Structures are given as C-alpha cells and as structure tokens.
Amino acid sequence: MSHDMDYISQAINKKKKELEDQARIEISMEKLKLAKEQRCILQSQKDIIQNTRNAMKEVQVDRDLLKEEKKKLEYLIADLLKAGHDGKDKLERIKAIVDE
C-alpha cells in the first residue's frame, strides 16, 4: 500500500510539474503576443503622429500661400482705388470680403 501511495504521489507530482511547465509556456507565449501587439500599437501611433505632422506642414504651406495671395489682392485693390476707377464701391466691397 505504501508503494502504491508513493507511485500515486510521484504520478501526481509528475502531472503537477507538466501542468506547471505548460502554464509557464502559455504565459511566455502570451507575454510575447502582448509584446508584439504593443510594438504594433507603438508603430501605429508613430505613423499617426508622423502623418499628422506632415499634414500640418502641408496646411502651413497652404496657409502661407493664401496669405501671400491675400496680400497681392490687397495691393491690387489699393492700386485700383488709387487709380480712381469708376467701380470704387465695388472695390470697397471686394476689399471688405478680403478683410474677412
């Protein structure tokens, strides 16, 4: 009977060790999976930030171009007003629109 108890105890310990090893492997795999997901998330965030910065640069360039165009229009309007053309009222309205 003692021999059977030892055998059962050894079998239980062996099974317990197998389960612990399997659990360690599963935990390691889960950690690797989470690390991979984290790297993917970080890469996605990096790409989003980079795309946002590029878009902001493009918007800044467009904004600068629009400012230049506005200045050109303001100078043109001023020149036309100085020249005394008949459409002064119309030019005043255009200037008001540009100033908005």
pLDDT tens for residues 61-73?
999 999 999 999 8
Range of the domain at 91: 2-99
pLDDT of residue 1: 66
Q: Which residues in the chain show pLDDT less than 70? A: 1-2, 83-88
3-state SS string over the chain?
Answer: CHHHHHHHHHHHHHHHHHHHHHHHHHHHHHHHHHHHHHHHHHHHHHHHHHHHHHHHHHHHHHHHHHHHHHHHHHHHHHHHHHHCCCCHHHHHHHHHHHHC
Number of domains in the chain: 1
pLDDT of residue 95: 80
